Protein backbone atom coordinates (compact mmCIF):
# COMPACT_ATOMS: atom_id res chain seq x y z
CA UNK A 1 0.00 0.00 0.00
CA UNK A 2 1.35 3.43 -0.97
CA UNK A 3 0.26 6.68 0.72
CA UNK A 4 1.05 10.28 -0.27
CA UNK A 5 0.66 13.44 1.79
CA UNK A 6 0.80 16.76 -0.04
CA UNK A 7 0.17 20.36 1.02
CA UNK A 8 -1.05 21.75 -2.31
CA UNK A 9 -1.03 25.52 -1.53
CA UNK A 10 -4.47 26.21 -2.99
CA UNK A 11 -5.16 29.66 -1.58
CA UNK A 12 -6.16 32.82 -3.37
CA UNK A 13 -2.83 34.70 -3.02
CA UNK A 14 -0.65 31.75 -4.07
CA UNK A 15 1.19 31.78 -7.39
CA UNK A 16 -0.41 30.31 -10.53
CA UNK A 17 -3.11 28.38 -8.68
CA UNK A 18 -5.20 27.34 -11.74
CA UNK A 19 -2.15 26.12 -13.64
CA UNK A 20 -0.73 24.22 -10.66
CA UNK A 21 -4.04 22.60 -9.77
CA UNK A 22 -4.60 21.47 -13.36
CA UNK A 23 -1.11 19.94 -13.42
CA UNK A 24 -1.66 18.28 -10.04
CA UNK A 25 -4.96 16.76 -11.13
CA UNK A 26 -3.17 15.17 -14.11
CA UNK A 27 -0.56 13.70 -11.77
CA UNK A 28 -3.21 12.35 -9.41
CA UNK A 29 -5.40 10.98 -12.20
CA UNK A 30 -2.43 9.10 -13.62
CA UNK A 31 -1.60 7.70 -10.17
CA UNK A 32 -5.21 6.65 -9.60
CA UNK A 33 -5.16 4.70 -12.85
CA UNK A 34 -1.87 2.88 -12.20
CA UNK A 35 -1.59 -0.26 -10.10
CA UNK A 36 1.62 1.13 -8.57
CA UNK A 37 0.19 4.63 -8.03
CA UNK A 38 -0.70 6.07 -4.63
CA UNK A 39 -3.54 4.13 -3.07
CA UNK A 40 -4.39 6.95 -0.67
CA UNK A 41 -3.67 10.67 -0.98
CA UNK A 42 -3.84 13.11 1.95
CA UNK A 43 -4.28 16.72 0.83
CA UNK A 44 -3.92 19.90 2.85
CA UNK A 45 -4.73 23.53 1.95
CA UNK A 46 -7.61 22.80 -0.38
CA UNK A 47 -9.20 25.75 1.27
CA UNK A 48 -12.29 27.31 -0.25
CA UNK A 49 -15.66 25.80 -1.11
CA UNK A 50 -15.22 26.90 -4.74
CA UNK A 51 -11.73 25.42 -4.98
CA UNK A 52 -12.91 22.09 -3.57
CA UNK A 53 -15.75 21.84 -6.06
CA UNK A 54 -13.42 22.63 -8.95
CA UNK A 55 -10.77 20.16 -7.77
CA UNK A 56 -13.10 17.20 -7.37
CA UNK A 57 -11.54 13.84 -6.47
CA UNK A 58 -8.43 14.01 -8.66
CA UNK A 59 -9.41 10.89 -10.58
CA UNK A 60 -9.83 8.73 -7.47
CA UNK A 61 -13.03 6.71 -7.05
CA UNK A 62 -13.51 7.59 -3.37
CA UNK A 63 -12.99 10.74 -1.30
CA UNK A 64 -13.52 11.86 2.29
CA UNK A 65 -14.06 15.40 3.58
CA UNK A 66 -16.02 17.22 6.29
CA UNK A 67 -16.14 20.98 5.78
CA UNK A 68 -18.35 23.61 7.44
CA UNK A 69 -18.24 27.18 6.15
CA UNK A 70 -21.40 28.35 7.92
CA UNK A 71 -19.98 29.77 11.15
CA UNK A 72 -19.13 33.29 12.36
CA UNK A 73 -15.46 33.20 11.44
CA UNK A 74 -16.39 31.57 8.16
CA UNK A 75 -18.58 34.57 7.42
CA UNK A 76 -15.71 36.89 8.35
CA UNK A 77 -13.50 34.96 5.95
CA UNK A 78 -16.11 35.37 3.23
CA UNK A 79 -16.10 39.14 3.78
CA UNK A 80 -12.30 39.15 3.54
CA UNK A 81 -12.41 36.95 0.45
CA UNK A 82 -10.68 34.02 2.16
CA UNK A 83 -13.48 31.76 3.38
CA UNK A 84 -11.81 28.59 4.64
CA UNK A 85 -12.39 25.64 6.96
CA UNK A 86 -10.01 22.70 7.51
CA UNK A 87 -8.52 22.51 4.02
CA UNK A 88 -8.29 18.71 4.36
CA UNK A 89 -9.33 16.04 1.88
CA UNK A 90 -8.55 12.33 1.52
CA UNK A 91 -8.58 10.54 -1.85
CA UNK A 92 -8.66 6.76 -1.97
CA UNK A 93 -8.71 3.75 -4.27
CA UNK A 94 -10.44 1.88 -1.45
CA UNK A 95 -14.05 2.34 -0.33
CA UNK A 96 -14.65 4.78 2.52
CA UNK A 97 -16.58 3.12 5.33
CA UNK A 98 -16.74 6.04 7.77
CA UNK A 99 -15.48 9.59 8.16
CA UNK A 100 -14.72 11.46 11.39
CA UNK A 101 -13.16 14.81 12.18
CA UNK A 102 -11.50 16.31 15.25
CA UNK A 103 -11.34 20.11 15.16
CA UNK A 104 -8.53 21.40 17.34
CA UNK A 105 -9.61 23.59 20.22
CA UNK A 106 -6.52 25.82 20.09
CA UNK A 107 -6.17 27.96 16.99
CA UNK A 108 -4.59 31.20 15.85
CA UNK A 109 -5.04 34.64 17.37
CA UNK A 110 -7.96 36.86 16.36
CA UNK A 111 -5.65 39.86 16.72
CA UNK A 112 -3.42 38.42 13.96
CA UNK A 113 -6.21 37.76 11.47
CA UNK A 114 -4.63 40.18 8.96
CA UNK A 115 -1.09 38.88 9.59
CA UNK A 116 -1.32 35.10 9.40
CA UNK A 117 -5.03 34.23 9.08
CA UNK A 118 -4.59 31.16 11.30
CA UNK A 119 -7.73 31.97 13.27
CA UNK A 120 -9.83 31.63 10.10
CA UNK A 121 -8.61 28.11 9.41
CA UNK A 122 -10.16 25.39 11.56
CA UNK A 123 -7.06 23.22 11.82
CA UNK A 124 -8.25 19.65 12.31
CA UNK A 125 -7.64 15.94 11.93
CA UNK A 126 -9.74 14.21 9.28
CA UNK A 127 -10.07 10.42 9.59
CA UNK A 128 -11.37 8.00 6.97
CA UNK A 129 -11.94 4.33 7.70
CA UNK A 130 -11.04 2.48 4.49
CA UNK A 131 -11.81 -1.06 3.40
CA UNK A 132 -8.52 -2.52 2.19
CA UNK A 133 -9.23 -5.50 -0.10
CA UNK A 134 -6.75 -7.78 1.70
CA UNK A 135 -6.26 -6.26 5.16
CA UNK A 136 -9.78 -5.24 6.04
CA UNK A 137 -10.58 -1.90 7.73
CA UNK A 138 -7.89 0.65 8.55
CA UNK A 139 -7.99 4.30 9.54
CA UNK A 140 -6.11 6.99 7.64
CA UNK A 141 -5.79 10.38 9.37
CA UNK A 142 -4.99 13.60 7.51
CA UNK A 143 -4.00 16.64 9.56
CA UNK A 144 -2.60 20.16 9.28
CA UNK A 145 -1.33 21.89 12.42
CA UNK A 146 -0.91 25.59 13.11
CA UNK A 147 2.21 27.08 11.53
CA UNK A 148 5.14 28.91 13.12
CA UNK A 149 5.97 32.47 12.10
CA UNK A 150 9.15 34.49 12.66
CA UNK A 151 7.32 36.74 15.14
CA UNK A 152 4.99 34.10 16.64
CA UNK A 153 5.93 30.44 17.12
CA UNK A 154 2.54 29.33 18.47
CA UNK A 155 4.43 26.67 20.42
CA UNK A 156 1.85 26.12 23.15
CA UNK A 157 -0.98 25.89 20.62
CA UNK A 158 0.93 23.42 18.48
CA UNK A 159 1.59 21.37 21.60
CA UNK A 160 -2.12 21.34 22.42
CA UNK A 161 -2.98 20.31 18.87
CA UNK A 162 -0.47 17.45 18.92
CA UNK A 163 -1.93 16.21 22.18
CA UNK A 164 -5.46 16.36 20.78
CA UNK A 165 -4.28 14.53 17.67
CA UNK A 166 -2.81 11.86 19.95
CA UNK A 167 -6.11 11.43 21.81
CA UNK A 168 -8.08 11.24 18.55
CA UNK A 169 -5.72 8.64 17.08
CA UNK A 170 -5.76 6.49 20.23
CA UNK A 171 -9.54 6.26 20.04
CA UNK A 172 -9.35 5.17 16.39
CA UNK A 173 -6.70 2.54 17.23
CA UNK A 174 -9.28 0.69 19.32
CA UNK A 175 -11.06 -0.22 16.07
CA UNK A 176 -8.38 -0.71 13.40
CA UNK A 177 -4.74 0.06 12.52
CA UNK A 178 -4.02 3.75 11.94
CA UNK A 179 -1.85 5.74 9.53
CA UNK A 180 -1.34 9.44 10.36
CA UNK A 181 -0.06 11.92 7.79
CA UNK A 182 -0.05 15.55 6.86
CA UNK A 183 1.63 18.89 7.38
CA UNK A 184 2.51 18.92 11.09
CA UNK A 185 4.34 22.26 10.81
CA UNK A 186 6.94 20.81 13.14
CA UNK A 187 9.91 18.62 12.33
CA UNK A 188 13.64 17.97 12.64
CA UNK A 189 16.41 20.47 11.96
CA UNK A 190 17.24 19.86 8.32
CA UNK A 191 20.23 22.17 7.96
CA UNK A 192 22.26 23.36 10.93
CA UNK A 193 23.33 26.48 9.02
CA UNK A 194 19.84 27.85 8.35
CA UNK A 195 17.04 28.87 10.72
CA UNK A 196 13.95 26.72 11.12
CA UNK A 197 10.92 28.02 12.97
CA UNK A 198 9.46 24.53 12.67
CA UNK A 199 12.16 22.85 14.76
CA UNK A 200 11.27 23.19 18.43
CA UNK A 201 13.01 20.58 20.60
CA UNK A 202 10.25 20.63 23.22
CA UNK A 203 7.80 19.47 20.54
CA UNK A 204 9.87 17.40 18.15
CA UNK A 205 12.45 15.79 20.44
CA UNK A 206 10.32 15.47 23.58
CA UNK A 207 6.58 15.50 22.88
CA UNK A 208 6.44 13.61 19.56
CA UNK A 209 8.27 10.50 20.85
CA UNK A 210 5.98 10.43 23.89
CA UNK A 211 2.83 10.84 21.78
CA UNK A 212 3.74 8.62 18.82
CA UNK A 213 6.75 6.57 19.88
CA UNK A 214 5.03 3.34 18.84
CA UNK A 215 4.49 4.62 15.28
CA UNK A 216 7.13 3.99 12.60
CA UNK A 217 8.58 7.03 10.82
CA UNK A 218 11.10 7.43 7.98
CA UNK A 219 13.87 8.95 10.12
CA UNK A 220 16.46 8.50 7.36
CA UNK A 221 14.78 11.34 5.43
CA UNK A 222 14.94 13.88 8.27
CA UNK A 223 17.65 15.87 6.46
CA UNK A 224 15.59 16.05 3.27
CA UNK A 225 13.36 19.13 3.14
CA UNK A 226 9.69 18.90 2.26
CA UNK A 227 9.34 22.70 2.25
CA UNK A 228 12.33 24.61 0.93
CA UNK A 229 12.91 28.33 0.72
CA UNK A 230 16.11 27.54 -1.17
CA UNK A 231 15.12 25.19 -4.00
CA UNK A 232 11.36 25.72 -4.46
CA UNK A 233 10.29 27.85 -7.42
CA UNK A 234 7.91 29.93 -5.36
CA UNK A 235 10.37 31.09 -2.69
CA UNK A 236 13.15 33.64 -2.84
CA UNK A 237 16.12 31.26 -2.71
CA UNK A 238 17.12 32.11 0.85
CA UNK A 239 16.04 31.06 4.30
CA UNK A 240 14.59 27.91 5.77
CA UNK A 241 14.89 24.28 4.84
CA UNK A 242 12.06 22.47 6.66
CA UNK A 243 10.82 18.91 6.99
CA UNK A 244 7.19 19.56 7.87
CA UNK A 245 5.35 16.75 6.11
CA UNK A 246 5.22 13.34 7.74
CA UNK A 247 3.50 9.97 7.62
CA UNK A 248 3.41 7.87 10.79
CA UNK A 249 2.66 4.16 10.45
CA UNK A 250 0.91 2.66 13.46
CA UNK A 251 1.12 -0.73 15.17
CA UNK A 252 -0.10 -3.63 13.05
CA UNK A 253 1.40 -2.07 9.92
CA UNK A 254 5.01 -2.10 8.69
CA UNK A 255 6.83 0.84 7.07
CA UNK A 256 8.70 -0.54 4.04
CA UNK A 257 9.96 2.55 2.23
CA UNK A 258 9.55 6.32 1.99
CA UNK A 259 10.55 9.19 -0.29
CA UNK A 260 10.20 12.92 -0.81
CA UNK A 261 8.37 13.25 -4.15
CA UNK A 262 6.77 15.88 -6.39
CA UNK A 263 9.91 17.93 -5.82
CA UNK A 264 10.73 18.52 -9.48
CA UNK A 265 9.49 21.37 -11.63
CA UNK A 266 6.82 20.58 -14.21
CA UNK A 267 5.40 22.34 -17.23
CA UNK A 268 2.45 24.41 -16.10
CA UNK A 269 1.64 26.02 -19.43
CA UNK A 270 3.23 27.75 -22.41
CA UNK A 271 6.46 29.32 -21.19
CA UNK A 272 5.65 28.52 -17.56
CA UNK A 273 7.25 25.88 -15.39
CA UNK A 274 7.52 25.46 -11.64
CA UNK A 275 6.87 23.21 -8.68
CA UNK A 276 3.35 21.98 -7.99
CA UNK A 277 3.30 23.65 -4.56
CA UNK A 278 5.45 25.49 -2.04
CA UNK A 279 5.75 22.08 -0.35
CA UNK A 280 6.96 18.80 -1.77
CA UNK A 281 5.10 15.54 -1.42
CA UNK A 282 5.98 12.77 1.01
CA UNK A 283 5.11 9.13 0.32
CA UNK A 284 5.43 5.85 2.18
CA UNK A 285 5.04 2.24 1.16
CA UNK A 286 3.73 -0.05 3.89
CA UNK A 287 2.63 -3.61 4.45
CA UNK A 288 0.52 -5.48 6.99
CA UNK A 289 2.28 -7.15 9.92
pTM: 0.95
Work out whether the CA dihedral 75, 81, 85, 91 comes out positive or negative: positive
DSSP state of 76: H
- Cβ within 8 Å of residue 244, ≥6 positions away: 7, 183, 184, 185, 186, 187, 198, 226, 227, 279
Complete edge-to-edge strand list for the sheet that includes strand 245-249? 96-103, 124-132, 136-144, 178-183, 245-249
Distance in angstroms (rounded) separating the CA atoms of residues 89 and 67: 9
* pLDDT tens for each residue of the chain, 289 residues long: 999 999 999 988 899 999 999 999 999 999 999 999 999 999 999 998 888 888 989 999 999 999 987 766 555 555 555 668 999 999 999 999 999 999 999 888 877 877 767 878 899 999 999 999 999 999 999 999 998 887 888 999 999 999 999 999 999 999 999 999 999 999 999 988 877 888 999 999 999 999 999 999 999 999 999 999 889 999 877 778 999 999 999 999 999 999 999 999 999 999 999 999 999 999 999 999 9
Amino acid sequence: MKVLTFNIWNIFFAAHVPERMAALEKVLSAAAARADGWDVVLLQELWSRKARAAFGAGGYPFAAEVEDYNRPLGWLGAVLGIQVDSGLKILSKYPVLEVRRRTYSKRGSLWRVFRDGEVLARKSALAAKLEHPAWGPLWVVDTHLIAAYPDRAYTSRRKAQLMELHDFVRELMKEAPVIVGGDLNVGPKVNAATPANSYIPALWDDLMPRMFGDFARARWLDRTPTCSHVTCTWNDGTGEECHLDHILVGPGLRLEDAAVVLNETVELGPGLSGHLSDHYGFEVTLSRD
